[in-house]
Amino acid sequence: MQLTRHDIARMMDLSAVRPDSGPPAVHALAETAKRYRSVLTSTLPSYTPLLVELLADEPDIGVGGNVAFPTGAELPDVKVAQTQQLVWLGVTEIDVMFDLGMFLAGKLQYVEDDLRGVVDAADGLPVKVIVECHYLTDDQIRTASEMCVRIGAAFVKTGTGWAPSGATLENIALIKRTVGDAIAIKASGGVRGLETLLELHRRGATRFGIGLGREKPIFDRLDELGGTVALA
């Protein structure tokens, strides 16, 4: 199987979600997404209206809405309200951070009900649940992934990009073994080069969270290889 530059761009969620990612970064994000034709863009909630406006004439480039990012510790009603507002603003997907502290404390039903509220509020839009694998054991990753399937999420996502690590070959493979084809996997956090992206894809990831500026080395390497790579 051959992957082209376009194929890779259509698996890439470009983001500007650092604390200093203000309007200049959002403008740069929109221009970068147009240049490479990435499948999705996302920024911090207060800048989402600007990003939606900048991409209004680009129907094939989605805008993601980040809910409870990056801690997951907002009250359930706040998460629901934030999701509803982002949907009203025109986002096309939702990425929600689960309540890591509650999960680690064993409050699994609380976490599941909390996430189900977001899925319901998303009104049919795909929801990616960020489980922040860096802080979880293998058994906890399995439990979190199974929870994502039960609530009807579209993706398990490995991290916010704010933890010391995010997507690894091991945790992507573990999630894939756990969920099979019941849910998709987004590798996020630490996806720094084309070779890493391809190996994560081989292990089961089909979407990749890439911070603004990290996309260029990936596409530069792809250009060095003639614009296509074999996924074998």
Active site members: 95, 157, 186
Structure tokens at 51: 């990003």
Map 48-93 to HEC letters.
HHHHHHHCCCCCCCEEEEEECCCCCCCCHHHHHHHHHHHHHHCCCE
Q: Are 114 and 80 contacting, i.e. CB atoms less than 8 angstroms apart?
A: no
Closest by CA to 85, choosing from 66, 71, 72, is: 66
Structure tokens at 195: 């070779």
- Measured CA to CA, the distance from residue 70 to residue 82 in angstroms comes to 14
What are the backbone angles phi and psi of residue 206, rounded to the nearest 5°?
Answer: -120, -5
What are the backbone angles phi and psi of residue 9, rounded to the nearest 5°?
Answer: -60, -35
Q: How many CB atoms lie within 10 A of CB 151?
A: 20
Which residue is listed with tokens 């064993």?
106
Closest by CA to 34, choosing from 17, 16, 59, is: 59
- Measured CA to CA, the distance from residue 155 to residue 186 in angstroms comes to 6
